[in-house]
């Protein structure tokens, strides 16, 4: 079956490649931190990103959606640049921008659910929900690392993410079940 939904196809292709960029970034981030527990946690987040990439590819393969060579090259370079920069930009910015990135990624998976719903395809709801929730868990993890930093208010004002600002409407403490989660990320 071929998907007749250009926005969904593009979002799948972009998400597939962006997961590689995130995984590369977390390699550098984990390598740049000294605390062994933080290093392990960031490495686990990297593994989650590789798993998301695998899951997105499985969905793409089901519908004959090719991997975008453009997105692959673009996100490969972005991921490597971010990875290397983690060693020189201090401790705060890798945590801050990882949290902001993950905050935006949450809605990618819920938007995919919305698009599949427009096509009356429900079979991917559970895996897309799980990936969206996992991205929210990542956002919360990174925020917890920086919430007491004196730099946070300034960065929150400039980049519109932090304690009182999120790029998604998922409440991890009161998350909706899969069936009701289509209300997420509607804006």
Distance separating alpha carbons of residues 101 and 112, to the nearest angstrom: 17
Domains in the chain, please, with CATH? 6-183 (1.20.1260)
The tens digit of pLDDT for each residue in 102-120 reads 999 999 999 999 999 999 9
Q: What is the pLDDT of residues 124-170, one digit of tens each?
A: 999 999 999 999 999 999 999 999 999 999 999 999 999 888 999 99
Question: For residues 114 and 131, what is the distance between their CA atoms, to the nearest angstrom?
Answer: 14
Nearest residue to 103 via CA among 162, 25, 166, 43: 166
> With a threshold of 0.85, does the pTM exceed it?
yes
Which runs of consecutive H residues, i.e. helices, occur in 33-168? 36-62, 69-85, 92-118, 125-146, 152-159
Which tens digit of pLDDT belongs to each residue from 6-49?
A: 999 999 999 999 999 999 999 999 999 999 999 999 999 999 99
Tokens 């060579």 — which residue?
69
Tokens of 16: 């597939």
181 strand-pairing partners? none
């Amino acid at each position: 079956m071929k998907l007749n939904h250009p926005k969904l196809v593009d979002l799948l292709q972009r998400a597939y490649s962006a997961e590689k960029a995130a995984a590369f970034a977390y390699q550098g981030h984990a390598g740049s931190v000294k605390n062994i527990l933080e290093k392990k946690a960031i490495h686990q987040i990297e593994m989650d990103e590789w798993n998301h990439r695998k899951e997105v590819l499985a969905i793409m393969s089901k519908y004959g959606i090719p991997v975008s060579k453009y997105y692959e090259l673009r996100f490969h370079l972005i991921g490597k640049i971010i990875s290397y920069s983690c060693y020189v930009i201090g401790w705060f910015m890798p945590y801050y921008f990882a949290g902001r990135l993950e905050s935006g990624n949450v809605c990618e998976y819920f938007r995919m659910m919305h698009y599949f719903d427009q096509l009356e395809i429900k079979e991917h709801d559970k895996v897309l929900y799980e990936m969206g929730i996992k991205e929210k868990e990542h956002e919360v993890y990174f925020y917890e690392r920086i919430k007491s930093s004196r730099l946070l208010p300034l960065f929150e004002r400039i980049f519109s993410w932090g304690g009182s600002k999120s790029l998604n409407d998922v409440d991890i403490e009161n998350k909706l079940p899969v069936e009701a989660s289509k209300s997420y990320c509607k804006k």
